[in-house]
Amino acid sequence: MLFKEIIGQQEVKSRLLNLVRDDRTPHALMLFGPPGAGKLALAVSMAQYLACAERQPGDSCGQCPSCLKFNKLVHPDLHFVVPVLKTTRVTRDPVSDNFMEEWRESFLANPFISESQWYEAIGAENKQGVINKEESLQIIRKLGFKPYESEYRMIIIWLPEKMNQAAANKLLKLIEEPPDKTLILMVSESTDKILPTILSRTQLMHVPPLSESMIREGLQEMGNHDPQLVEDAVRRSSGNFNTALQALRQDENEMHNFTLFTTLMRLCYSRSIIEINDWVDQVAGMGRERQKLLVDYSLRLLRENFMLHMESDALNHMSRKENEFSSRFSAFIHAGNINELVESFSGAGNHIEANGNPRIILMDLSIRIIKQLMQKAPQAG
Ligand SMILES: [Zn+2]
């Protein structure tokens, strides 16, 4: 991870660079601040810079053997400690080393990973991880070895507030009498849950939330160019880049579902069987989870359209685009077909859930919709 790959945080970056340049790297350094500000990525960049063989004034070189290992988080002098817990795979005495494969994959896919995303990645949703005493003993053991390749041994402790009392006491001892050429880099989201004696022996550096303009720029640099989606994600982020990313992904899925649903309705209305067949092929290849989301989305939009048909000025929960489409489409969704349409989509959802053949389920659904859209609205009175 190069410093320049991390959005914003210029001030923190130059403070970190200065520490290394002026040879003032402390034994223990803690980056703290709100989630989604880039603390973990900054910690990895700092360690990489310290180990880089061809250090540039403002960043690691990115090409030396050490940097190449950092790119995959496999440098032998870089260690991670993260909160873990028992899972179906690791059923007793879990420590970070049991989960390094998942950790590397998760961090490299999203350096802004949140605590709950991490638990999800190791198959332990809705549970709380911990850093236990066994973990601290392992740290001490690892720091007992000489560095393999670089001058420093580096340990990044993600969320030290997750340490239990025994682990924290062991770490405190280590920070009080640190081995030479060791950097303990901690990344914390709530320093109030950390032993004051650890804090007082650690150099603290605050990492502030990202500004809206930095988040906007970051999203655009990742190739997100739809200005409306980007703005919506920025607005929902409150300085947390991870939240912005999730909001954007969710919006993109909604947009994709909107396109698929409206296309199917148009094709069914015009009874374009050949194009319906193409649509079925496309959706059949999407995977079950995505298909189920499309069914849920379709059900929501059908219900909204029925409400709109019955009471055109009723409050609804549709986006601007959905409203535009529905202002015309709602004429075709009425008391004469809404129940059957809902049953068709729900039935398709159930069959998808039960591992039915998606092509057959979707083609059957399309044929039902063709008939149901032709139904006349019941005459009033
Ligand atoms: Zn390098």
Same domain, 55 and 133: yes
What is the whole-number distance in angstroms between the Cα of residue 143 and the centre of ligand 1?
A: 23
pLDDT surpasses 80 at 314? no
Single out the residue in 151, 185, 209 at which a domain terminates. Answer: 209
Question: What is the pLDDT, as a whole number, of residue 118?
Answer: 95
pLDDT surpasses 70 at 9? yes
Query: What mean pLDDT comes out for the span 80-92?
Result: 94
Is 227 within a domain?
no
Same domain, 105 and 188: yes
Same domain, 156 and 301: no
Is 233 within a domain?
no
Instruction: Quickly state the pLDDT bin for 206 (edges 50, 70, 90).
Output: very high
Query: What mean pLDDT comes out for the span 335-352?
Result: 97
**Residues near ion ligand 1 (Cβ under 5 Å):** 52, 54, 60-61, 64, 67
Instruction: Quickly state the pLDDT bin for 380 (edges 50, 70, 90).
Output: low
Question: What is the pLDDT, as a whole number, of residue 24?
Answer: 94
| Model pLDDT for residues 30-82, shown as the tens digit of each residue | 999 999 999 999 999 999 999 999 999 999 999 999 999 999 999 999 999 99
What is the whole-number distance in angstroms between the Cα of residue 47 and the centre of ligand 1?
A: 11
What is the whole-number distance in angstroms between the Cα of residue 65 and the centre of ligand 1?
A: 7
Single out the residue in 149, 183, 209 at which a domain terminates. Answer: 209
The boundaries of the domain holding residue 262 are 251-374
d(CA 272, CA 44): 55
Same domain, 296 and 356: yes
pLDDT surpasses 90 at 320? no
Same domain, 190 and 338: no
| Model pLDDT for residues 347-371, shown as the tens digit of each residue | 999 999 999 999 999 999 999 999 9
Is 87 within a domain?
yes
What is the whole-number distance in angstroms between the Cα of residue 115 and the centre of ligand 1?
A: 29
With a pLDDT cut of 90, the percent of the chain lying above it is 80
C-alpha distance from residue 173 to each of 70, 136, 185, 246, 367 (Å): 28, 10, 16, 40, 71
Is 104 within a domain?
yes
Same domain, 300 and 351: yes
Is 381 within a domain?
no
Question: What is the pLDDT, as a whole number, of residue 264?
Answer: 98
Same domain, 178 and 255: no
pLDDT surpasses 70 at 381? no
Say which CATH number the domain at 42 has: 3.40.50.300
pLDDT surpasses 90 at 115? yes
d(CA 31, CA 44): 11
Question: What is the pLDDT, as a whole number, of residue 289?
Answer: 86
Single out the residue in 209, 233, 264 at which a domain terminates. Answer: 209
Question: What is the pLDDT, as a whole number, of residue 224?
Answer: 77
What's the structural domain count of the chain?
2
Same domain, 74 and 18: yes
Question: What is the pLDDT, as a whole number, of residue 271?
Answer: 96
Same domain, 98 and 168: yes
Radius of gyration of the chain measured on its C-alpha atoms: 27
What is the whole-number distance in angstroms between the Cα of residue 233 and the centre of ligand 1?
A: 34
Which residues are 379's β-sheet partners?
none
Is 240 within a domain?
no
d(CA 289, CA 80): 33
Is 357 within a domain?
yes
Same domain, 166 and 270: no
What is the whole-number distance in angstroms between the Cα of residue 256 and the centre of ligand 1?
A: 41
d(CA 267, CA 271): 6
Q: Which of the residue ranges 32-46, 142-156, 307-321 has the most confident prediction, judged by mean pLDDT?
A: 32-46
Say which CATH number the domain at 284 has: 1.20.272.10
Is 229 within a domain?
no
What is the whole-number distance in angstroms between the Cα of residue 68 and the centre of ligand 1?
A: 7
What is the whole-number distance in angstroms between the Cα of residue 148 and the centre of ligand 1?
A: 16
Query: What mean pLDDT comes out for the span 333-348?
Result: 97
Question: What is the pLDDT, as a whole number, of residue 311?
Answer: 86
pLDDT surpasses 60 at 373? yes
pLDDT surpasses 80 at 315? no
With a pLDDT cut of 70, the percent of the chain lying above it is 99
What is the whole-number distance in angstroms between the Cα of residue 72 and the centre of ligand 1?
A: 13
Same domain, 51 and 166: yes
| Model pLDDT for residues 213-271, shown as the tens digit of each residue | 999 999 999 887 788 889 989 988 989 999 999 999 888 888 899 999 999 999 999 99
Query: What mean pLDDT comes out for the span 104-112?
Result: 96
Same domain, 32 and 116: yes
Question: What is the pLDDT, as a whole number, of residue 318?
Answer: 86
Q: Which of 151-160, 164-173, 227-236, 356-365 has the lowest mean pLDDT?
A: 227-236
